[in-house]
Amino acid sequence: MKAIYFLVGLLALASSFASAYDPSPLQDFCVALNDTQNAVFVNGNFCKDPKVVVAEDFFKHVDPGNVVNKLGSNVTPVSVNELPGLNTLGISLARLDFAPKGLIPPHTHPRATEILTVVEGTLFVGFVTSNQNNTNRLFTKVLNKGDVFVFPIGLIHFQFNVGYGNAVAISGLSSQNPGVITIANAVFGSTPPISPEVLTKAFQVDKKVINYLEKQF
């Protein structure tokens, strides 16, 4: 009988651990505020009254993106900000358009794994691992129409059109608000800017090089 009580106790304890957990963050930060009158965010979005929900809350048309820019690419996100029906569902997507030699530069999604499907064209893609064993490993692959590739959550990755024509891909992301950090923009275009002393030391280059790079962003 004592063994049964012990087993029941263990199951109850396991159940409490399973149900009492912190949800994954859905934004960069959420500072605690006791004054509810001035609270403006929750971890996610407030829910619309189900009685007034309509089909359009779950629908979004996505047009081709404008690729006439210095990168020759365009990302059209479909996150909870564009499609309210995604709220609490833990998914989103993006349409990726590329001109010939168009690039989506190295970036990360802090809250999502990305799975990419090539719809048209040929892409050279890759990601870099964390510094396991003091080595950042690079994994790359040339993808053609119909190919699928996955970028693990939080890792730096890129997509580059190596074909002769335009390319199109669809990316699924495992968060309603995956976030994006474009490495060059974040390092050389932050507000306020990172101290040149920090950047010259980090990249082991002259301050003139840092100044030039900062002007690009």
Task: Give yes or no for a contact between 143 and 119, defined as CB atoms under 8 angstroms apart.
Answer: no
pLDDT digits (tens, 9 = 90+) for 136-160: 999 999 999 999 999 999 999 999 9
Rounded to whole angstroms, how far apart are CA atoms 171 and 148?
Answer: 9
Report residue 14's pLDDT band, with 50, 70 and 90 as the boundaries. Answer: very low
Residue 32, SS3 per DSSP: coil
Kind plus residue range of the DSSP H or E element containing 8 = helix 2-19
pLDDT digits (tens, 9 = 90+) for 160-173: 999 999 999 999 99
pLDDT digits (tens, 9 = 90+) for 174-187: 999 999 999 999 99
Phi (first) and psi of residue 23, to 5 degrees: -70, 155
Phi (first) and psi of residue 22, to 5 degrees: -85, 130
